[in-house]
Amino acid sequence: MDSRSDPDRWALSSPMDAVDETFAALVRANRHLRPRVGNPDEMKSNRLIRTLDLLKFRVTDPEPGIPESILGGVITALNEEAVVSAALANKGGINLAHTYEAFGPKMLGAVRQEVIFAENCVRAGRPQNWLSVPVVMTSHTWENGKNEHSHQDPTFAEAMMGEVWPYSRVVFPADFNTAAAVTAGLYQTRGQIWTLVVPKAAVIPDLFTPAEAQQMFNDGALRLPWAGYRADEAKVVLAAVGAYQLMEVLRASRGLREREVPHEVVYLLEPAKLKELAPGKAAWVVVTHTRRHVIHGLLSPLLGNAPLAVLGYRNEGGTLDTPGMLMVNGCTWAHAVQAAGRLCEIPQDVLLSAAEVAALSGECSPQGTLIPTQDGAGV
């Protein structure tokens, strides 16, 4: 069995480190391109440390010992629309903008106009030649419990998935290698706005090889041959959109495998890119970073009559850690197993223990049963 299917053997890192390393390397390798980074506030908190050390904050009066310069490439203001506009305006250079995900909507007006303009230019026979621009959403909905519900909002990615593809591209890197492949690959495109929804915490398992990450970037999705059980006979497909969601799906897969339920596992990196999913007769259970209706709307036409259940953010939040956020939004591995059982008409008590069913129904605490305790107990 591939070690990647065993959570106890996962090596962990931060996908934002991959974005940082890759962007800094691209800037060094392309000295002829003027770099611009739109930064609304938390540069180091968002793990763009190498980028900051390389480009420095632009200021009028640099302080000694601080990464500042009158020629700095990092444009900082407590105004998301202003800083993303600084990046978007640098059409002859190489650019990146980032923010806490919950404040992405403040960038939406300016970014959406760029998408519309790029599309209209192509329709007029004048395709845009500027390097595509990533807008990185990090410190995101599922990992921002310390700042309560105000910092938990996936609206930006949802809205950008509603814009015309390929002028608006929305991706959810699953791990370090996926984030590196996306960051390098997007700069090979022209005239597009890329939304990257990237975890920053160094708790994301390194699940994909560089080759697999590149394949996922090219195709928009990847079937995981090392996960699942008797995939060629699958009754259900477990799919994830988002890194934390993939961890839950893999734990759900382990539960189905222990009960010998044939299934396969898929990661959806760029849901809007998918043109076909070869639905067959298998039911689909998707656990997504976003609100459920967005992914349901994208996938249901592709799946035809195949049963589909989507679990996603349902506006439940607060000062919760990531497992707590997954629990209150109905997105844990146990919720995925429960949904699979419902679609496949398998009784709940066949797939889940009495304690797990009680935790799902709110009759007892999920700690140690559905989600880990501080000492690591539980699934």
My answer on whether 181 and 265 are in the same domain is no
Q: Is 373 part of a structural domain of the chain?
A: no
333-347 mean pLDDT:
97
Residue 2 clears pLDDT 70, i.e. is over it: yes
Residue 354 clears pLDDT 90, i.e. is over it: yes
- Which CATH number is 127's domain given? 3.40.50.970
Domain termination site, one of 157, 179, 205:
205
- Long-range CB contact pairs, 112-121, < 8 A, 24+: 112/159, 112/160, 112/163, 114/88, 114/193, 115/160, 115/163, 115/164, 115/167, 115/168, 115/193, 116/163, 118/167, 118/191, 118/192, 118/193, 119/164, 119/167, 121/191
For residue 7, what are the contacts with CB-CB under 8 A and spacing of at least 6? 205, 247, 250, 251, 254
Tokens standing for 9?
Answer: 């053997």
Report the pLDDT value the prediction gives residue 378, as an integer from 0 to 100.
43
Q: Is 333 part of a structural domain of the chain?
A: yes
Using the Cα atoms of residue 174, residue 176, residue 177 and residue 183 in order, give the sign of their dihedral: positive
Q: Is 58 part of a structural domain of the chain?
A: yes
Residue 361 clears pLDDT 50, i.e. is over it: yes
How many domains are there within the chain? Answer: 2
My answer on whether 356 and 251 are in the same domain is yes
My answer on whether 17 and 165 are in the same domain is yes
My answer on whether 233 and 200 are in the same domain is no
Identify the domain containing residue 187 by its residue range: 12-205
My answer on whether 176 and 95 are in the same domain is yes
Report the pLDDT value the prediction gives residue 337, as an integer from 0 to 100.
98
My answer on whether 229 and 200 are in the same domain is no
Using the Cα atoms of residue 46, residue 213, residue 339 and residue 307 in order, give the sign of their dihedral: positive
Asked if residue 60 lies in contact with residue 70, where contact means CB atoms within 8 angstroms, the answer is yes
- Which CATH number is 324's domain given? 3.40.50.920
Nearest Cα residue to 169 out of 115, 215, 120? 115
For residue 294, what are the contacts with CB-CB under 8 A and spacing of at least 6? 158, 161, 162, 288, 312
Question: Which bin fits 81, alpha (ψ -120 to 50), beta or left (φ > 0)?
Answer: alpha
For residue 325, what are the contacts with CB-CB under 8 A and spacing of at least 6? 141, 142, 145, 152, 316, 317, 331
What pLDDT band is residue 3 in, cutting at 50, 70 and 90?
A: confident
Q: Is 124 part of a structural domain of the chain?
A: yes
What pLDDT band is residue 111 in, cutting at 50, 70 and 90?
A: very high
Domain termination site, one of 182, 205, 228:
205
Domain termination site, one of 175, 205, 235:
205
Q: Is 161 part of a structural domain of the chain?
A: yes
Report the pLDDT value the prediction gives residue 368, as an integer from 0 to 100.
87
**C-alpha–C-alpha distance, residues 345 and 71, integer Å:** 64
pTM of the model: 0.96
Cα angle at 275 between 274 and 278, to 5 degrees? 95
Side-chain-facing half-sphere of 93: CA atoms under 13 Å: 16
Residue 377 clears pLDDT 50, i.e. is over it: no
My answer on whether 35 and 154 are in the same domain is yes
Q: Is 174 part of a structural domain of the chain?
A: yes
My answer on whether 84 and 190 are in the same domain is yes
Considering 142-156, 282-296, 348-362, the range whose residues carry the highest mean pLDDT is: 282-296
Report the pLDDT value the prediction gives residue 374, as an integer from 0 to 100.
57
My answer on whether 293 and 154 are in the same domain is no
Q: What digits encode the pLDDT tens for the residues 75-90?
A: 999 999 999 999 999 9
**C-alpha–C-alpha distance, residues 113 and 108, integer Å:** 9
Q: What digits encode the pLDDT tens for the residues 252-308?
A: 999 999 999 999 999 999 999 998 776 678 999 999 999 999 999 999 999 988 999
Report the pLDDT value the prediction gives residue 373, as an integer from 0 to 100.
67
Q: Is 366 part of a structural domain of the chain?
A: no
Q: Is 374 part of a structural domain of the chain?
A: no
My answer on whether 97 and 166 are in the same domain is yes
My answer on whether 307 and 182 are in the same domain is no
Average pLDDT, the chain: 94
My answer on whether 25 and 156 are in the same domain is yes
**C-alpha–C-alpha distance, residues 127 and 123, integer Å:** 8
